[in-house]
Copies of this chain bind each other. A is one copy, B any other.
Amino acid sequence: MEKEWNIIEVLRHSRHDWLNKLQLIKGNLDLNRIDRAKAIIDEIVVESQNESRLSNLQLPAFAALLMKANWENYLFQVEYEILEDTNAIRVNERELVTWANLFFDSLNASVAMEAENLLAITIVPLKEGARFFFDFRGIIKEKERIEQFLIDVSRFAIETSVKEFTEHELAVEVYSP
């Protein structure tokens, strides 16, 4: 019954998220801020479109990783955007998932707990492979963790390049053939 528990847990998290959004809409309606409520609905629709695009990429393990990221109690929030609605992209998914898991864990171990930490991920599907931009804003306390991560993934087939790396920002670009 493990599979069923999984479904129930996933729906529990998802329901919780949706009810929070609904609460936000309701709160604004109660204050008679109708336009704000409508704007929130529009934002949610865009967010859902991104989730739908992510599903369409045919990268089940990577998609599941991103969709579940905010249920993992990381010290940072994850947002993602897929720049184009593509039916399937061919990337080295196994390595990408390992990369992303290592990155999330290293980032989690290095950021300041009390800060507002946000990791924004942008996915650009290409004819051959895809580019992934990981932009972190927040407070990084232990840079060594990230540095170690960058050494660890340097032997990977997917290419990692650091665009920005300060106490408040980390921008990493990944190309997977």
Contacts and interface: CB of A to CB of B under 8 A. Distances in A.
Contacts of A18: 18, 48
A26 interface: yes
Interface of A is mostly: helix
Contacts of A67: 7-8, 11
Given A7-B68, A52-B12, A34 B29 contact: yes
B15 A63 contact: no
B64 A41 contact: no
A88 interface: no
Interface in A2-18: 3-8, 10-12, 14-15, 18
A60 interface: yes
Contacts of A52: 12, 15
A67 B3 CA distance: 14
A22 interface: yes
A44 B22 contact: yes
A68 B7 CA distance: 9
Contact of A19 (B1, B26, B34, B48): B48
Interface residues of A, number: 36
Contacts of A25: 25, 41
B64 A15 contact: no
A41 B30 CA distance: 12
Contacts of A160: none
A18 B20 CA distance: 13
Please provide the 5 A-B residue pairs with the shortest distance between their CB atoms, ordered closest to farther: A4-B60, A4-B64, A1-B60, A5-B60, A4-B61
Given A1-B60, A32-B34, 6 more contacts: A1-B61, A7-B60, A10-B10, A11-B51, A22-B44, A29-B41
